[in-house]
């Protein structure tokens, strides 16, 4: 039930800190160690390469998950869009582990790949919000997202839950492999939950940004570098699916290779700047688009902010920033859709779970 909320999407956005705290609880034992199915731990330890298969927002969570697994657990990861996988099946490593990320656990495109990889005899782990779902039943192992039912077609809390569980999985694998890490995932995720809460209390800011930047526009571009780019791609998906504004996420460095031709007087550009190593470069991109008439909205992170930024996110661990930085995009998309009288929870032409290939 949505209770006092006008829409499920807004309720689900607000539930994110709670979901994160639930995940921390569910994946921790009494000794404050990571609690994980020992078979999953073994499968992660045994594989020599991970193939993440997913669609839509879950695919975007996979792009971030790759960063966690490669940086913490040092296992190479490939992330594939489920519907494309079979056409161009990559050469597989000797001991692949397939990881299916799916909120619903019912996405037909992902299931088709699971059937194929099972036939080949490869182990499969499903990360899902619905443990009894098809993808969960048919895989060898399941990790639960504990996000609670997600009703709005636009995925919000499942995405942040997916990234949190992937971070925990990556750190657990690192530990199982004897890799020393100076990173306590539970402590860092608790900081993220607090940051999310702070954002949820400032919704008017995002309502204003949606009005200022998106009221009448036909298009909008998200730019970022490194992991900010992947969050931008998710921001663009959110905006297009519920507000019907044509939106795309671009890597800052790619602008000069063609995309910058799209910038006209007043084109809204939403830039994310949460990564210290690329702060100067993304700022350079912002200057380039402003010089061509763009209306730039910069969302940065505490410590990296500059005069004129539209919003400064509270500081969290650099690798976990996507779990916080997506919230402004979710809220801006929500308000942009409201301002345009769109059906936020049930956007046109879309279904909550896509059970046809």
Nearer CB in complex with ligand M6R: 131/314 = 131
For 201, the enclosing helix (H) or strand (E) is none
Q: In the complex, what is the shortest distance from the CB of residue 354 to ligand M6R, in angstroms, rounded to a whole number?
A: 5
CA–CA separation, 218 vs 245, rounded Å?
6
Nearer CB in complex with ligand M6R: 273/332 = 332
**Cβ atoms within 10 Å of 25's Cβ, excluding its own:** 11
**58 counts as binding ligand M6R under rule CB under 6 A:** yes
Q: Which stretch binds ligand M6R (CB under 6 A): 39-47, 67-75, 147-155, 208-216?
A: 147-155
Q: In the complex, what is the shortest distance from the CB of residue 47 to ligand M6R, in angstroms, rounded to a whole number?
A: 22
248 has which bridge partners?
221
Q: In the complex, what is the shortest distance from the CB of residue 15 to ligand M6R, in angstroms, rounded to a whole number?
A: 15
Q: In the complex, what is the shortest distance from the CB of residue 101 to ligand M6R, in angstroms, rounded to a whole number?
A: 7
The residue to which tokens 């902010």 are assigned: 305
Q: Which stretch binds ligand M6R (CB under 6 A): 31-39, 50-58, 85-93, 243-251?
A: 50-58
**153 counts as binding ligand M6R under rule CB under 6 A:** yes
Which position among 86, 217, 219, 353 is part of the footprint of ligand M6R (CB under 6 A)?
Answer: 353
The residue to which tokens 């997916």 are assigned: 162
**55 counts as binding ligand M6R under rule CB under 6 A:** yes
CA-closest candidate to residue 105, choices 53, 154, 38: 53
**3-state class (DSSP) for residue 66:** helix
**327 counts as binding ligand M6R under rule CB under 6 A:** no
**Cβ atoms within 10 Å of 32's Cβ, excluding its own:** 10
- Supply the DSSP string of 289-326, one letter for each residue: HHHTT-EEEEEEETTS--TT-SEEEPP--GGGHHHHHH
Which position among 44, 53, 56, 165 is part of the footprint of ligand M6R (CB under 6 A)?
Answer: 56
**65 counts as binding ligand M6R under rule CB under 6 A:** no
Q: Is 240 exposed, middle or buried (0-12, 13-18, 19+ CB in 10 A)?
A: middle
The residues that are catalytic are 352
Which position among 16, 67, 104, 142 is part of the footprint of ligand M6R (CB under 6 A)?
Answer: 104
DSSP state of 74: -
SS3 content of the chain, % helix, strand, coil (to 5): 50, 15, 35
Which position among 57, 67, 142, 267 is part of the footprint of ligand M6R (CB under 6 A)?
Answer: 57
Q: Is 207 exposed, middle or buried (0-12, 13-18, 19+ CB in 10 A)?
A: middle
**281 counts as binding ligand M6R under rule CB under 6 A:** no
Which position among 154, 192, 255, 296 is part of the footprint of ligand M6R (CB under 6 A)?
Answer: 154
Q: In the complex, what is the shortest distance from the CB of residue 130 to ligand M6R, in angstroms, rounded to a whole number?
A: 8
Q: Enumerate binding residues for ligand M6R (CB under 6 A).
A: 55-58, 102-104, 107, 110, 153-155, 237, 241, 353-354
């Amino acid at each position: 039930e949505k209770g006092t909320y006008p829409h499920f999407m807004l309720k689900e956005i607000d539930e994110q800190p709670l979901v994160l705290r639930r995940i921390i609880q569910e994946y921790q034992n009494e000794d404050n160690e990571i609690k994980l199915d020992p078979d999953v731990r073994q499968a992660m330890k045994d594989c020599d390469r991970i193939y993440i298969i997913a669609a839509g927002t879950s695919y975007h969570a996979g792009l971030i998950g790759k960063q966690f697994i490669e940086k913490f657990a040092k296992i190479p990861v490939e992330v594939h869009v489920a519907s494309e996988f079979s056409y161009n099946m990559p050469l597989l490593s000797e001991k692949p582990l397939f990881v299916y990320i799916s909120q619903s656990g019912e996405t037909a495109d992902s299931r088709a790949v699971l059937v194929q990889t099972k036939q080949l005899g490869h182990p499969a782990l499903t990360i899902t919000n619905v443990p009894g779902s098809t993808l969960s039943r048919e895989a060898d192992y399941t990790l639960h997202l504990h996000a609670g039912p997600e009703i709005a077609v636009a995925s919000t809390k499942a995405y942040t839950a997916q990234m949190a569980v992937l971070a925990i999985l990556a750190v657990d694998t690192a530990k199982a492999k004897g890799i020393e890490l100076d990173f306590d995932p539970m402590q860092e995720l608790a900081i993220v939950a607090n940051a999310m809460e702070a954002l949820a209390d400032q919704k008017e800011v995002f309502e204003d940004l949606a009005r200022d930047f998106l009221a009448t526009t036909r298009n909008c571009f998200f730019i970022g570098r490194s992991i900010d780019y992947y969050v931008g791609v998710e921001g663009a998906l959110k905006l297009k699916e519920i507000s019907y504004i044509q939106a795309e996420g671009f890597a800052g460095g790619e602008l000069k290779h063609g995309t910058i031709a799209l910038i006209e007087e007043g084109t809204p550009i939403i830039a994310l700047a949460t990564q210290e190593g690329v702060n100067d470069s993304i700022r350079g991109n912002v200057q380039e688009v402003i010089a061509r008439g763009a209306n730039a909205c910069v969302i940065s992170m505490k410590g990296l902010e500059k005069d004129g930024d539209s919003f400064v996110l509270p500081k969290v661990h650099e690798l976990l920033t996507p779990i916080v930085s997506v919230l402004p995009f979710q809220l801006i998309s929500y308000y942009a859709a409201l301002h345009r009288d769109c059906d936020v929870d049930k956007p046109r032409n879309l279904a909550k779970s896509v059970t046809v290939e």
